Amino acid sequence: MHEANALAITKNVKGVPRLVAVSLDPPGIIMTMHGTLNLVGLCRMRPNELVLLRVLHSISGTLAAFHKLGLSHNDIKADNVTISGGVNAESTTATLVDLGLLTRHGEYPFGLLPRRDGKSFYAPELMNA
């Protein structure tokens, strides 16, 4: 239910899906859908620079809104940017999805504590524990 909470916290942020419903049994959420294409798929279509700039500007605005709220997404990658409207610059919109790792600034995702050895990363296999 962490993602449902994250969607509720960010409900006024442009460029984030909207929470539609929550089911407790079985656990699940329904949210709005914003395209079936991700950022890599868009780049493979070789859109013009204006389309790419529009997408990057949109995602930057979404992240700026998160940061203004004191939030960190913690999972920024091309798979988590969905595109609707295709490669037409006027209709292309970008949405930042997968808010499951969203935290307040200074909190660590997965409930992990900072490493004692000073390194700022964990091995991926530790994330599956």
The per-residue pLDDT for range 58-93, each reduced to its tens digit, is 999 999 999 999 999 988 999 999 999 877 767 889
CB 82 within 8 A of CB 37: yes
- Domain-embedded: residue 70: yes
- Domain count of the chain? 1
pLDDT at 114 over 80: no
127 within some domain: no
pLDDT band for 119, please (50, 70, 90 cuts).
low
Which residues have CB under 8 Å from 54's CB, separation 6+?
89, 92, 94
Judging by beta carbons within 10 Å of its beta carbon (0-12, 13-18, 19+), is residue 104 exposed, middle or buried? exposed
Q: Cα(24)–Cα(6) distance, rounded to whole angstroms?
A: 16
The verdict on residue 129 lying in a domain is no
Regarding predicted confidence, which is higher, 17 or 36?
A: 17
Query: Residue 82: what residue type?
Result: T
Residue 55 within a domain? yes
Answer yes or no: is 28 within a domain.
yes
Domain holding 96: CATH number? 1.10.510.10
**Residue 52 belongs to a domain:** yes
pLDDT for the residue numbered 129: 41
For a pLDDT cut of 70, what percent of the chain falls above it? 82
Mean pLDDT, the chain, rounded, equals 86
Token pair in block for residue 14 = 């442009």
Q: Quote the pTM value.
A: 0.80
Q: Which domain holds residue 93?
A: 2-107
Q: Is residue 80 part of a domain?
A: yes
Whether pLDDT at 124 is above 60? no
Looking at the DSSP assignment, which residues form a beta bridge with residue 19?
31
Q: Is residue 59 part of a domain?
A: yes
